[in-house]
Amino acid sequence: MSKKIRVLIVDDSAVVRQSLSQIISNDPMLEVLGTAPDPFYAAKKIAEEVPDVITLDVEMPRMDGLTFLKKIMSQHPIPVVIISSLTEAGTKTGIRALEYGALEIITKPQMNTKQFIEESQIRICDAIKAAANSKIKRRKIIDIHEVQPKLSADVILSPLVGANSMLKTTEIVIAVGASTGGTEALTLFLKALPINCPGVVIVQHMPEKFTKSFANRLNEICKITVEEAKNGDAVLPGHALIAPGNYHTLLKRSGARYYVEVQEGPLVNRHRPSVDVLFRSTAKYAGANAVGVIMTGMGDDGARGLLEMKEAGAKTIAQDENSCIVFGMPKEAIKLGAVDKILPLEGIAPFILKPSW
C-alpha cells in the first residue's frame, strides 16, 4: 500500500480545523499530520515534521495566509491548497495566491462553513491528492486511483454518432483544457498568442468568481483580449473566452458564427466546468476546424473529449511531462491515442500558429 499523504491544516477557526480533520481522516489515502490556528504555530510544526500538503486559510491572526505562502515557497516549497472564505471583491487575493504558488483554491462561504466543507469533501480530498502529486514535491509521484463514481459528458451533450459532417473551413477554433498548474500554463500560452490568432475557448478548473478575476488579469498582460465567457458570446479571432467557474461551457455554431453556450448541469468527471464537455461540443460543432490542447492537471477530464475531437478531424496537442506541474490529464489523453503532438508548454503556441502541420 502506498504511504498516506500527510496533511497540515492551518486555519484560525476551530470548527474548520475539526471538520477538515474529519474529512481528511475518512479518506484512506490521507492522514492529518497536525493542525495549527495560525502560521506561527504551523511553522513550529513544519520544523518538527514536514507535511506532504498544507491546507491554508488566507485571513488569519498574526500573519495572513498570503505572507505565509510566500515564505513557504521561497524557503521550503510545500504543496499548498487554499481553503478560504473570500468574498467576490476578494477574488484578486485568490489570484495572487495562485501567482505565489498555491496549487488549488477552494472557496467556502462566510456562513454555514461546516456544512459547506462536508458537502465539498470529495473536491477537498481530490485537491489535496492533486497537490501531493505536483512536481513541487521533488519526490516520486504517488499513483493515485480515483474510486468515486464519475459522470461523463453524456449528461450534458450526446456523443457524436457516425461521421462528422462539418466541412473544413478557414475559420479555426482553439479549445484548451487545464487543471492543477493550469493558471501558470495558460498565462504563458496566451501571452504568446498574437492579436490575429484564432479564437480560443478555455476550461480551467477553478472556483466560481475566480475565473473572472483570472480573465481580467490575463487581459491586462496579453496581446489578445481575454474575458470570462458569457452565454452567447461570439468566438472571435484575437479573443480568448474562459469558462466561468461552476458552469459548463460548450462551443456551438450558427452558420459561419461560432459562439459559446454557458449552462448549469451536474458535475462531469467531478468538475463543472468540464474539459470533456467543451471538447465534445467542439468535436460536434467545429470538427476539423478545431485544435484541441490538453494541459497540466490531475485526473482524466478532457482525455475522452480530446479523442472525440481527433476522430472528428481536429488537430490535438498535449503538454509534455517535463513542463507539466501534474502529468495526469495529458498522460490519460496520450494513453487513449487522442494526441497528435506532445509538446513542451512554450512550444504549443508557436506550433499552433504554423501555416500547416
Phi, psi at residue 288, to the nearest 5°?
A: -70, -5
5-137: CATH topology is Rossmann fold (3.40.50)
- The conformational region for residue 290 under phi > 0 = left, psi -120 to 50 = alpha, else beta, is beta
Annotated catalytic residue within 38, 57, 300, 301: 301
Look up 179 and say whether it is catalytic: yes
143: which DSSP letter?
Answer: -
Q: What is the pLDDT of residues 245-255, one digit of tens each?
A: 999 999 999 88
CATH annotation of 154-352: 3.40.50.180
In 3D space, the residue among 136, 150, 152, 5 whose CA is nearest the CA of residue 72 turns out to be 136
**Matching fold, domains 5-137 and 154-352:** yes
Band (169; pLDDT cuts 50, 70, 90): low
Look up 76 and say whether it is catalytic: no
**pLDDT score at 112:** 63
pLDDT greater at residue 166 or residue 264 = 264
Distance separating alpha carbons of residues 280 and 177, to the nearest angstrom: 12
Environment class of 232 (CB within 10 Å of its CB; exposed 0-12, middle 13-18, buried 19+) = exposed
Q: What is the pLDDT of residues 222-232, one digit of tens each?
A: 999 999 999 99
Look up 145 and say whether it is catalytic: no
Annotated catalytic residue within 19, 134, 179, 213: 179
Annotated catalytic residue within 11, 27, 57, 205: 205
- Give the number of C-alpha atoms closer than 13 A to the C-alpha of residue 80, restricted to the C-beta side: 29
Does residue 57 surpass a pLDDT of 50?
A: yes
Q: Residue ranges of the domains in the chain?
A: 5-137, 154-352
Cell 476546424 sits on residue: 289
